[in-house]
Each structure stands twice: as C-alpha cells, then as structure tokens.
Chain A
Amino acid sequence: MALLDGTTQLNKPPVQVSDDARGYYTLGEPLVDPVTPTGPIKDRWTTRKFDNRLVNPANRRKMSVIIVGTGLAGGAAAATLGEAGYLVKSFCFQDSPRRAHSIAAQGGINAAKNYKEDGDSTHRLFYDTVKGGDYRSRESNVYRLAEVSANIIDQCVAQGVPFAREYGGLLDNRSFGGVQVSRTFYARGQTGQQLLIGAYQAMERQVAAGTVQQFTRHEMLEIILIDGKARGIIARDLVTGEIQTHLADAVVLASGGYGNVFYLSTNAMGSNVTAGWRAHRKGAYMANPCYTQIHPTCIPVSGEHQSKLTLMSESLRNDGRIWVPKKAEDCEKDPRDIPEGDRDYYLERIYPAFGNLVPRDIASRQAKNMCDEGRGVGPKVGDFRRGVYLDFADAIARLGEDGIREKYDNLFDMYARITGENPYETPMRIYPAVHYVMGGLWVDYHLQSNIPGLFVAGEANFSDHGANRLGASALMQGLADGYFVLPNTIRDYLADAPFERIDESHPDVVAARTDVESRISTFLSINGTRSADSFHKELGTIMWEYCGMERSEEGLRKAIDLIRELKASFWTDLKVLGTADTLNQSLEKAGRVADFIELGELMCIDALNRRESCGGHFRAESQTEDGEALRHDEEFAYVAAWEWGGDNGQPVLHKEDLIYTAIEMKQRSYK
C-alpha cells in the first residue's frame, strides 16, 4: 500500500457512457461538497476543527438543536451537545431512547488502537475501509473516521462500557470480517447494547441536568423549512395522537437505516425511512439509495408468517465451514448422512486464499448462487430451499464442544431457540439477509445536507462506507459522528446565530402541520381492503427479487412498473382501522410503508443507472469472465445524489465525482 499524503489527484473524473435509466430521470447540475478539505490528508480534520468558528459558552444556552433518533449517532450527539450547553430536544419512536436499533449490534466496533502491535494505524484502518467500500466513499470523511476511532474507545470505557478484557485487565480485541489486524473491540455478542447504554446514560444525565429534553414515543413526520433553512419538525405523539410543532436553530436526523424497505431484514421492526424521506421530499438529496448490504450469516426464512430475520454474528465464520451437497438429490437428506466426498465447500473451493472468510458480499452472492442452482438446504419456502450449511463439526473435533460453547454459546442458544434444532449436533443453516444500507441523505464534510441547518448522522447519511460496509464499522461511524464530528461542525453553523425568530403561526409552519394532518386523515379514510403490512410484504418481495443481491436491467425495469402499480393500489385500497387520537400502530405503519414505496422506486432507478457491480450490488450485465463482480471506475466513481422531482416528475440526478488523493483505486481480487 502506497503511503500518499493527499496532495495530488490520482484518478480522472468519471465519464458515464451507458445510460440504462434513460427516461426515468433527468440529469441535474454536478454536485460539489462545498466544505471539502484539501491539503495533506492527515491534517485535514485538525485544520478544520481549528478553522470552524466557536460559540461562546454563555451563548450556547440560547441555541437550540432538534435531534431525531437516539441510537449511537443521535444519543451520542444529544449527550455531547447537551454537555456543551446547547438546548437539545431529542426524539425517538420507542418508549425509551435505550431501545434504538443500535442496541442489536452483535459483533464489535473497530478502532485503530494498535494494542496488539500488529501493524494497525489510522492509515491502515482508513485504507481498509476505503478498499472494503469498493472506492465509493469519500476519502476525507473516512480518514477522519479512522482518526477519531481511538477516542471512541476511550470515551466508552470512561462511561463504564464493559468491553472484553484480558487477564491483565487490559482491553482485548479480535480480528473481524476478514481483516488482517485485531482492531475490533467487543462486549461478548452484545457490543451494540453496551455502547448504546453508554450513550443513553450520558444522555439521561443531561436530561437530569436540563440541557436535553427527551420525547419518547414521538415520531417526526415532517421537516419545517423557512427561507430554505431547516428550522424544526412536526412530530406526532404516538400515545395521544397530538400533532406537535417543535422549532429550533438546527435539526439533526440520526434516524437510522431503511433496510426494512425489503420487509424482511435484520433491522428492528420500527426502523424506517420516514425522517429522511420527508426531508428528501422537501429538497434534501438522497445519495446512493441502492447500496444495500447483505449479511451472509442469518437464520433462513422458515415460512410466510416471518416478520424479521435474525443475524448470527459473522464471527461464526472464523470456525464454521460452509457447504452444500454436491448433488441436488442430497438436499433433503440429514446432513450428517452426507459423506465428505459429496459435500461442496464452495467458498474454500472458489476462493482458496480467503475461504470461508471472504467479504460479506461475496459470501452472500455465492450462497444465493448455490440455492439458485437447486442445491440449497432446509425447508422449502415457495419453490426454493434457501439455506446453506454452516458446519462446526471440524471445530468441535478440534476445540471440543466446551471450547465452542465458550466462544459462541449465546449464538448457539439463539439458533436453537429460533429453529428448534441443536447446532452442536447438526450443522446450522444460514442464508443472506438485508442488514444495513450504505445509501442515505447526502451530506457534506460537515455532515450537513444540501439544506442549510439540516445535519444527518449515523446510518441515515451516506458518506463513509462506499458501496459495501466492513464489519464493525457502522458502530464506529455512529459514535464518531455523534461524539466527535457533529459537535465540532454544527458549531460552525450555529455561530451564525441569532437566527430569525419564528413562531408557530408562520405560514410555512402551518403548512407543514396541515400536510401532516391531512395525510393522516387520508390514511384513515381510504377504507379499502388491505393492511399496510400486506403492502409492505409485497414491496419487500419485489425489492428482494429485483433490487437485492443481483440486479439486471430487465428486472429493475419490471420492478419499477410493479412498484408504481403497488403505489396506486396502496392509495386506493389501504385499510387502517381505529382513530388518530390514540396509540394506533396500524396508522404508524401506514405512514412508514407509504414512504418505503416511494423510496423503493428510487432505489430501483438508482440501481438501473449504475451499470456496474460494486460492493454488495451485483449487476448481472457487469461481470468478469469467471462471474466475479466488475466495477467501472471510469464511468461510475461518483456519488449519485438524487433530488426529489415532485409527485409527477422525475428524480434529478446530481453527480459528485469521487477524487482520490491518498489511495489508488484497484480492482478487488479475493482469489
């Protein structure tokens, strides 16, 4: 790896030749990050922190910030901005901030601490993350992420996060997701929970101190723009149904990812796109919406009733061997009766150098290929068996059942509980599932969207992971944004205060509120025949089939038509019972599904335009002779930032070229 300092441009700006999505979009002006830093890469963030304007502590009490979301990004930001003395209002739809979806993360969090003296450094974490993202992230953002990563661990330890420790009392860490250094800090299989509790407790401390006001069971349903600036939100109190106006000097969306557009995913049931999508409809750009991460090790679907999928930590791939029967006839057999010679350890066969530890997108796609060939295992759902074996027999022979129990006990228990099978006796079955989205609202280096005063943090923004996210890097990004980046960039915006005073009677505020009210009464008055859930399921099937692991021009066009039909029938055939003035979960769901349908269409258009295979996104039309993903940097090394084109118009594509100055782009090879 060449160590370059970031002062010379290494690639040419891309020129797109293909135009598959012609007719579905209009081309807008190129987009440039107006605050992108220059100069030696290692100094960029330090210089920027210094250059950003300061806000006098006495003035901070007069400045207000709304934060939507209490996950790692939103919780950490609320705690930090509250400590600094700003007036913060924090919103989440769960009954407590501590239940944000971040709580479910299992594996760990990366940080360039180099505690093992195995050659890790800020630069190496930066390099791995950019390469892992298939060169579709912004290098300045990623470098900053790597740079602050070490502080995250310090911060969390100080808060009492009980990370795993070695006998000497020092922090332990492990290697994760195919990375060759040990830089992943973890708290058994519950790293997300422990990190979130740390941020939550820090935030609750500020609630007690009066700097943070907490609104639980509240859902943001609209953003308020005045003179082009974000100045507040309209929220619904989910218990009383009251529609509320909240005004502030700036708004932060830390509302998480939209993987639930696929209906089945590893995300929590409530995860949704509404906060981002409402902002998108008011002018915020949605970047790279089609970039979805598919996780290879989830428990397969067992039937029609399935409401969500459960992830099994990727760490299992360190000891489990993945295989399917060589012969389709064997698929119904008890796996223990299939002799070694009749098993196809396909990852070890195709990728001898990396074997079972190939990156997530490759492991996922090959599992799908095996099942599509008719060699999947487990129960048939529809016409297919969608599962492959993850076998611990060798590892149990090597380490003993106790050895395995010590390492993976809670995961094995979880598997047994969900499937009713004992994984110590028979191989686990796994299948890929939607897990995370790399797309999200477009932000500049300051995490500000193209709407002044609207900041976006965590999974809700797009900037750091490129086309594929490496394991243990989402938690790092959420906390980096919340604890260290946003507090330093938002102050530069707030330094413009005082902002014009507005009150609830401002016509733009009234209009936003009226929109929300009329939307809710529409949902309740359509009085059709189908539940919001049934539309969601149908959307999910379309998305998974045509915009999931493998996409083709033909399939995507078909999907767009299907989604348009679905949208029409949603607005005429939806049935939501109950009223708007109490807790009404069907009504909540209807609003979220309506937004998912529109997002789904944009995801397909984005995927159609991007005629290259990149990260977790495999375009059938773009592969090498031996079927591997083929990227086209000369055409697509850009961020696709989409502008809302109106209800009857076409989305407008703004391209932000990705220029590398510190890392040279290379094609991936895991063979």
Chain B
Amino acid sequence: MNLTLKIWRQPDATTDGAMHTYQVSDISDDMSFLEMLDVLNEQLNEKGEEPIAFDSDCREGICGMCGLMINGQAHGPEVTTTCQLHMRSFSDGDVITIEPWRAESFPVIKDLVVDRGAFDRIIQSGGYISANTGSAPEANSVPVPRDKAMRSFNMATCISCGACVAACPNGSASLFLGAKITHLGELPQGQPERDARVVEMVGQHDHEGFGGCTNIGECTAACPKEIPLDVISQLNKDLRTAMKHGH
C-alpha cells in the first residue's frame, strides 16, 4: 500500500518542532508499524535527510520502549504496543499522523523520542520490596493464595510504556502507579512497607508534575497490557489507609 505520513519532527528538547509530510510506498500487510518507519528511514538516509528518531528495543511487546501517538491514539488503533501493531490495521491511501507521547512530565528529546525518567524516579521513591540479597527465607515458607498471586501477577505485567499517561487528558500516571501498588500490595512480602510505599510513590508522582486522576478511563483503554481501572481505586484505598495509620 501507499501511505501519507505526517510526522512530528523536533531536533532537540529546546527547539520548536513541526509536522512534516512523507510518502511511503510498497508497504506490505505483515510489516510492523516500526518496520514501516524503518523503510522510511532508509529512504530518507538515501536522500540525504536525517532519519526520524524513535524508540524501540525488543519489538516483541514486552520491554515498553516503543510508544507513539498514532492518529491521536496512544500506540495506535489496536490494544497493543506500537511494535506489535501491524500494517494490516491500515489501508492503501491512508493518511497517518505520528507524534511522540504528549505529557508535560515526558519531555521530548528528539522527534518521536521522549524522556520517561520520571517513571524510574517513582519506583525509586518506594516501588520495591526491601529484601537484601542473601537474607531471603526459603521460598515456600510464605504461601501466597493463588487468587492473590494471580492478581499480583496481572498487575505486574505493566511494561512502563507510558501510554496511560499519554492517553490521559490530565497527564496522570495513576494507572502505572496503581499497577505497582497492587502488584506489591497483594503479596504477603509487600505488607511491611505498604503504607510508606503508597505515600512516597504518590508524593513523587505529584512532584514529577503528573496530573490527578478524574476517572476518565482513557488510560485503561490505551493500556497494551490491559491493566484495569480498579487499580486506581486500590491506590486511593491504600492511600487513605496509610493516612489513617498516620503516614
């Protein structure tokens, strides 16, 4: 198929960006969206134009490195990551708009690449269980009921891609936060630090400039790992409990 691409180009964080239009041809159904961009980049390089910068690594939907706004939707029209979106989701002659994640807390580095360092800093603030190497008890000494283990697992599948933030009109990272709180909070190992964790992480979230959650639900609709909205209720509940405990 032949496509018209409107792509955001921005040389660096401090220079203004603009949309540029490119044509690509001979795009086949079974290319991934990023392979389509590879084809464009190879053409640009040949013409002496600098290729478009975008992030990706695993290209398997698991590392969370890729992420683009495609026609205004985080990761594009399907519930998946950008690297797992395939061109069969588009048709010959389509005009496709491609932009970087838009959120104040994810500044653009160049073209389609943004800085998601804020997510690491949120984890640093308390998104872990303190267990020094070598001091762990025998693994089966703490049984975890299967339903709790399952729920914990489901929330641990968050790949930290940031689509939830990009999709949220408030630029909130509550879904990401809720997923981590629930992953660790469902486990017996996660209890000792449960109150402190939620308080610190929410504090860091706000400090990074992410917006508040007003329950719009765009986050969960865009999430490639289908993290459900109820983790945000869990987040709020944990936060209230921690307050009650005097945190």
Tell me the residues in window 67-122 of chain A with beta carbons closer than 8 Å to chain B beta carbons: 76, 79-80, 83, 94-99, 101, 103-104, 113, 115
Residue in contact with A104 in the complex, picked from B60, B127, B130, B134, CB distance below 8 Å: B60
- Give Cα A80 to B133, complex, Å: 6
Evaluate whether A417 and B109 lie within 8 angstroms (CB atoms) in the complex, with A160-B183, A162-B187, A268-B59 already known: no
Evaluate whether A533 and B42 lie within 8 angstroms (CB atoms) in the complex, with A208-B124, A419-B30, A577-B51 already known: yes
Look across to chain B and name the residue whose beta carbon is closest to the beta carbon of A577: B50
Residue in contact with A582 in the complex, picked from B11, B145, B183, CB distance below 8 Å: B11
A164 partner residues in chain B, CB cutoff 8 A: 149, 153
A95 partner residues in chain B, CB cutoff 8 A: 55, 65, 115-117
A604 adjacent to chain B (CB < 8 Å): no
Evaluate whether A99 and B65 lie within 8 angstroms (CB atoms) in the complex, with A268-B58, A268-B59, A303-B28 already known: yes
A15 partner residues in chain B, CB cutoff 8 A: none
Whether A268 and B57, one on each chain, are in contact in the complex, defined by CB atoms closer than 8 angstroms, is yes
- Give Cα A202 to B119, complex, Å: 15
How big is the A interface, by class? 35 or more
A216 partner residues in chain B, CB cutoff 8 A: 117, 120
Whether B109 and A583, one on each chain, are in contact in the complex, defined by CB atoms closer than 8 angstroms, is yes
Look across to chain B and name the residue whose beta carbon is closest to the beta carbon of A482: B133
Tell me the residues in window 34-50 of chain B with beta carbons closer than 8 Å to chain A beta carbons: 34-35, 38-39, 42, 45-46, 48-50
Look across to chain A and name the residue whose beta carbon is closest to the beta carbon of B128: A201
Q: Which of B69-77, B136-144, B164-172 contacts A (4 or more CB under 8 A)?
A: B136-144
Q: Say how far B36's CB is from chain A's closest CB, in angstroms.
A: 8
Whether A165 and B144, one on each chain, are in contact in the complex, defined by CB atoms closer than 8 angstroms, is yes
Whether A268 and B139, one on each chain, are in contact in the complex, defined by CB atoms closer than 8 angstroms, is no
Whether B146 and A99, one on each chain, are in contact in the complex, defined by CB atoms closer than 8 angstroms, is no
Whether A158 and B59, one on each chain, are in contact in the complex, defined by CB atoms closer than 8 angstroms, is no
- Give Cα A268 to B146, complex, Å: 33
A154 partner residues in chain B, CB cutoff 8 A: 136-139
Whether B123 and A204, one on each chain, are in contact in the complex, defined by CB atoms closer than 8 angstroms, is yes
Whether B133 and A155, one on each chain, are in contact in the complex, defined by CB atoms closer than 8 angstroms, is yes
B51 partner residues in chain A, CB cutoff 8 A: 577-578, 585-586
Whether A306 and B35, one on each chain, are in contact in the complex, defined by CB atoms closer than 8 angstroms, is yes
- Give Cα A41 to B84, complex, Å: 47
Tell me the residues in window 73-113 of chain B with beta carbons closer than 8 Å to chain A beta carbons: 80, 84, 86, 88, 109-110, 113
- Give Cα A311 to B119, complex, Å: 28
Q: Which of B1-9, B155-163, B213-221, B233-241 contacts A (4 or more CB under 8 A)?
A: B155-163
B206 adjacent to chain A (CB < 8 Å): no
A397 adjacent to chain B (CB < 8 Å): no
Evaluate whether A169 and B143 lie within 8 angstroms (CB atoms) in the complex, with A306-B35, A531-B45 already known: yes
Whether B62 and A158, one on each chain, are in contact in the complex, defined by CB atoms closer than 8 angstroms, is no
Look across to chain A and name the residue whose beta carbon is closest to the beta carbon of B13: A239
Q: Say how far B179's CB is from chain A's closest CB, in angstroms.
A: 11
B56 partner residues in chain A, CB cutoff 8 A: 269
B110 partner residues in chain A, CB cutoff 8 A: 239, 582-583
A151 partner residues in chain B, CB cutoff 8 A: 134, 136
A420 adjacent to chain B (CB < 8 Å): yes
B230 adjacent to chain A (CB < 8 Å): no
Evaluate whether A577 and B149 lie within 8 angstroms (CB atoms) in the complex, with A208-B125, A306-B35 already known: no
Chain B 21-38: CB-based contact to A (< 8 A → 1; otherwise 0): 000000011111011001
Evaluate whether A94 and B63 lie within 8 angstroms (CB atoms) in the complex, with A162-B187, A170-B143 already known: yes
Whether B59 and A159, one on each chain, are in contact in the complex, defined by CB atoms closer than 8 angstroms, is no
A34 adjacent to chain B (CB < 8 Å): no
Chain A 191-208: CB-based contact to B (< 8 A → 1; otherwise 0): 011100100111011011
Tell me the residues in window 397-421 of chain A with beta carbons closer than 8 Å to chain B beta carbons: 414, 417-420
- Give Cα A301 to B241, complex, Å: 53
- Give Cα A498 to B140, complex, Å: 43
Whether A160 and B189, one on each chain, are in contact in the complex, defined by CB atoms closer than 8 angstroms, is yes
A168 adjacent to chain B (CB < 8 Å): yes
Whether A205 and B124, one on each chain, are in contact in the complex, defined by CB atoms closer than 8 angstroms, is yes
A190 adjacent to chain B (CB < 8 Å): yes
A274 adjacent to chain B (CB < 8 Å): no
Q: Say how far A257's CB is from chain B's closest CB, in angstroms.
A: 14
Look across to chain A and name the residue whose beta carbon is closest to the beta carbon of B45: A531
Q: Say how far B176's CB is from chain A's closest CB, in angstroms.
A: 12
B19 adjacent to chain A (CB < 8 Å): no
Look across to chain B and name the residue whose beta carbon is closest to the beta carbon of A589: B51
Whether A420 and B127, one on each chain, are in contact in the complex, defined by CB atoms closer than 8 angstroms, is no
Residue in contact with B109 in the complex, picked from A103, A156, A239, A310, CB distance below 8 Å: A239
A153 adjacent to chain B (CB < 8 Å): yes
A278 adjacent to chain B (CB < 8 Å): no
Tell me the residues in window 556-592 of chain A with beta carbons closer than 8 Å to chain B beta carbons: 575, 577-578, 582-586
B53 adjacent to chain A (CB < 8 Å): yes
Whether A578 and B64, one on each chain, are in contact in the complex, defined by CB atoms closer than 8 angstroms, is no
Whether A308 and B153, one on each chain, are in contact in the complex, defined by CB atoms closer than 8 angstroms, is no
Whether A103 and B49, one on each chain, are in contact in the complex, defined by CB atoms closer than 8 angstroms, is no
Chain A 241-261: CB-based contact to B (< 8 A → 1; otherwise 0): 000000000000000000000
A352 adjacent to chain B (CB < 8 Å): no
Evaluate whether A171 and B140 lie within 8 angstroms (CB atoms) in the complex, with A80-B133, A166-B146, A205-B128 already known: yes
A35 adjacent to chain B (CB < 8 Å): no
A671 adjacent to chain B (CB < 8 Å): no
- Give Cα A207 to B123, complex, Å: 10
Evaluate whether A577 and B30 lie within 8 angstroms (CB atoms) in the complex, with A103-B63, A160-B129 already known: no
How big is the B interface, by class? 35 or more
A83 partner residues in chain B, CB cutoff 8 A: 132-133
Whether A303 and B60, one on each chain, are in contact in the complex, defined by CB atoms closer than 8 angstroms, is no
- Give Cα A192 to B62, complex, Å: 10
Residue in contact with A188 in the complex, picked from B30, B31, B34, B153, CB distance below 8 Å: B153
A522 adjacent to chain B (CB < 8 Å): no
Whether B120 and A97, one on each chain, are in contact in the complex, defined by CB atoms closer than 8 angstroms, is yes
Residue in contact with A167 in the complex, picked from B120, B139, B146, CB distance below 8 Å: B146
Whether A484 and B65, one on each chain, are in contact in the complex, defined by CB atoms closer than 8 angstroms, is no
Residue in contact with B31 in the complex, picked from A192, A194, A305, A586, CB distance below 8 Å: A305
Whether B156 and A577, one on each chain, are in contact in the complex, defined by CB atoms closer than 8 angstroms, is no
A104 partner residues in chain B, CB cutoff 8 A: 58, 60, 62-63
Whether A159 and B62, one on each chain, are in contact in the complex, defined by CB atoms closer than 8 angstroms, is no
B202 adjacent to chain A (CB < 8 Å): no
A202 partner residues in chain B, CB cutoff 8 A: 128, 131, 133
Evaluate whether A169 and B120 lie within 8 angstroms (CB atoms) in the complex, with A96-B160, A98-B160, A190-B62 already known: no
Q: Say how far B34's CB is from chain A's closest CB, in angstroms.
A: 7
Q: Say how far A80's CB is from chain B's closest CB, in angstroms.
A: 4
- Give Cα A310 to B38, complex, Å: 17
- Give Cα A418 to B78, complex, Å: 13
Whether B120 and A214, one on each chain, are in contact in the complex, defined by CB atoms closer than 8 angstroms, is yes
Evaluate whether A577 and B53 lie within 8 angstroms (CB atoms) in the complex, with A208-B125, A531-B42 already known: no
Whether B59 and A204, one on each chain, are in contact in the complex, defined by CB atoms closer than 8 angstroms, is no
Q: Say how far A466's CB is from chain B's closest CB, in angstroms.
A: 27
Residue in contact with B152 in the complex, picked from A98, A162, A582, CB distance below 8 Å: A162
B190 adjacent to chain A (CB < 8 Å): yes
The 10 A-B residue pairs whose C-beta atoms are closest, nearest first, are: A169-B143, A201-B128, A158-B136, A158-B131, A162-B153, A154-B136, A157-B139, A208-B124, A80-B133, A268-B57
Q: List 23 A-B contacts (CB under 8 A).
A: A76-B133, A94-B65, A95-B117, A99-B58, A103-B58, A113-B139, A157-B139, A159-B131, A160-B189, A162-B156, A164-B153, A165-B144, A169-B149, A193-B157, A193-B159, A201-B128, A202-B133, A208-B124, A239-B110, A305-B31, A310-B60, A418-B84, A418-B86
